[in-house]
């Protein structure tokens, strides 16, 4: 009789937990780059401007869109983002929608951004090749959503 009561009590406990946990999925870590990031972009030639990155992260892979607006509108640019994330470090390639014409050749105009994420801040530096040679700059962004 005693073993029968133990089995019944165990069955009741299991049933209670099964009902209480039904429909719940365990929450895993969120992808830290997911979201919209806005802030400043400093560029060697263009000066200071505002930048927006809309990023989606799936595992280590990062994709999305970006735009930058400067006082001198000829430097305004938008395009796609691709790259990867490892720990708190991100390597992002910001490719403009319109490549940069350079005499008889065309440059991609892709910015290679090395950035680190700390909470809701994304900061880093970039380099790109232009008709005049290599240029660089930095970004300082905050998550805005």
The token pair that represents 17 in the structure block = 């937990």
The CA dihedral of 75, 77, 82, 86, to the nearest 10 degrees, is 50
Q: Alpha-carbon distance 47 to 76, whole Å?
A: 11
- pLDDT reported for residue 127: 96
Q: Alpha-carbon distance 145 to 33, whole Å?
A: 11
Q: Alpha-carbon distance 46 to 26, whole Å?
A: 47
- pLDDT reported for residue 14: 41
pLDDT confidence bin for 131, thresholds 50/70/90: confident
Nearest-5° Cα angle at 81, 89 to 72: 105
pLDDT greater than 90 at residue 7: no
Residues 25-65 have pLDDT tens digits of 444 447 899 999 999 999 988 999 999 999 999 999 999 99
- pLDDT reported for residue 106: 86
Which range has the worst mean pLDDT, 9-13, 56-60, 80-84, 116-120? 9-13
Q: Is residue 41 part of a domain?
A: yes
Phi and psi dihedrals of 3, rounded to 5?
-65, -35
Number of folded domains that form the chain: 1
CA 118 remoteness from chain centre: 12
Residues 62-109 have pLDDT tens digits of 999 999 999 989 889 999 999 999 999 999 999 999 988 888 888 899
Q: What is the CATH number of the domain that holds 50?
A: 2.40.128.120
Q: Is residue 13 part of a domain?
A: no
Q: Helix, strand or coil for residue 137?
A: strand
Per the confidence metrics, is the pTM higher than 0.85?
A: no
116 lies in which domain range? 35-143
Q: Is residue 97 part of a domain?
A: yes
- pLDDT reported for residue 29: 46
């Amino acid at each position: 009789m005693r073993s029968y009561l133990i089995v019944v009590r165990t069955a009741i406990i299991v049933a209670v937990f099964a009902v209480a946990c039904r429909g719940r999925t365990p929450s895993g870590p969120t992808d830290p780059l997911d979201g919209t990031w806005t802030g400043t972009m400093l560029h060697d030639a263009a000066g200071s401007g505002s930048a927006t990155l809309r990023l989606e992260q799936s595992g280590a892979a990062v994709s999305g869109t970006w735009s930058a607006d400067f006082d001198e509108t000829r430097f305004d640019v938008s395009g796609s983002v691709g790259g990867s994330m490892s720990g708190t470090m991100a390597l992002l390639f910001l490719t403009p929608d319109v490549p940069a014409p350079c005499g008889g050749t065309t440059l991609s105009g892709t910015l290679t951004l090395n950035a680190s994420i700390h909470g809701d801040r994304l900061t880093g530096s970039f380099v790109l090749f232009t008709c005049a040679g290599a240029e660089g700059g930095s970004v300082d962004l905050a998550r805005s959503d």
